[in-house]
Structure 1
Amino acid sequence: MTATKDCIAEAGKTAGIAGGMGLFVSAMQNTAQKHTIGAKGVITRTGGTIAFFAAMGGIFTLGECAAKDMRGEDDAINAGIGGCAAGMLAGIKSHSFAKMSIGCAAVGATMYAYEATGQLKGGFADKTREEKKQHEKEFFRQKTE
């Protein structure tokens, strides 16, 4: 399988997962609104939320994967590029270049920071038990003056 097919497959998977999250949010929106349509309002009234979430997830993954293929590196910058592409979608939806730029900067910076800091795992995620104990000993060492 080529890298392009992998990117498209990954983007499809992410779009499906994000669409599922969008379905949940759409259901919550439908519950909060007053109308007489009932449960089918999840699709008819607030269904755009499902598509928006799916598109954001798919575009993010496709942008990140394409950046990785083009740059030849696997680092946090790729997540920033994917986040920028996904953030632009919010501006496109509102027909505003300013909102596209702000969305690009905000989502791109957030995703870059998330990836650069170890995906909220912290600095000890990849350390062995012995390395963690050694750090603890050094950190709590009594100062001798």
Structure 2
Amino acid sequence: MANPHPIQRLAEERRPFHPKDAVKSGLWGALGFGGAGVFFSAVQNSLAKRNVGAWGVFTRTGGTIASLTMLGTVYYFSKDATANLREKDDTFNTTVGAFLGGATIGLKTGRMPRILGFGALFSVVMTALDYTGGSLRGKRTESPEMDEYERKEYLRKNRRRPIEETIADIGEGIQPPGYEERRRERLNQKYGVEIKPVSALAD
């Protein structure tokens, strides 16, 4: 049930830009995409009609490893380098990095239309994914700069229900004001027992 009194989100403050380590990002991209390249190369090698041996992963289908490694390196390096040059972290950095990374896939063909086509395709896909929040579940409605704890606190406050509505649903187990009087009345009506209130203050 939606909160009838949602908390208004405060205007997002522009936070200072923190430079990114483009070289480190490129190396991590090379490791990640290189590992994926080894996996796909092994799949291609296992589907070969003749036995090419285990080293065929690197000798026969090694081009897949090289292409994906170059893709990851160029994408992450270009993305962070663009952010450092512009001093701004937004979707445009992903667009530039994805275009350059996708273009590396078409380099082995040596044909400019394919180079531009691969770059444009990869750029459109990654830009759309980044613009929608980097998740298939959609863009986060709260500020993207807040950490996980702040995000959960925001969601908890935004979905908090009024105390009257909570009491109406779960009963009076939390002893709201007037609980003892109503309890004595119910016991008297149901069991005929009259309970006198006891004062905690000594005379």
Query: Is TM-score (shorter-chain normalized) higher than 0.5?
Result: yes
2:123 to 100, 108, 120: 108
Find runs of 4+ consecutive structure 1 residues off by over 4 angstroms: 124-127
Matched, 1:60 2:75: yes
Contact 2:95 2:124 in 1 (8 A): yes
Q: Distance in 2 between the 1:125 and 1:93 partners? A: 41
Pick closer, same or farther for the CA change 1:70–1:27 going to 2, 3 Å. Answer: same
Corresponding position of 1:50: 65
Corresponding position of 1:8: 23
The one-letter code matched in structure 1 to 2:38 is L
Matched, 1:25 2:52: no
Corresponding position of 1:137: none
TM-score, normalising length: structure 1 = 0.82
The one-letter code matched in structure 2 to 1:96 is R
Contact 1:76 1:112 in 2 (8 A): yes
Number of aligned residue pairs: 131
Residue aligned with 2:133, SS: coil
Q: Distance in 2 between the 1:133 and 1:85 partners? A: 46
Residue 37 of structure 1: CA displacement?
2.3
Q: Distance in 1 between the 2:134 and 2:114 partners? A: 26
TM-score, normalising length: structure 2 = 0.60
1:122 to 127, 138, 148: 138
Q: Distance in 2 between the 1:50 and 1:65 partners? A: 23
More helix by share: 1
Percent identity between the two aligned chains: 31
- Larger of the two Rg values belongs to structure: 2
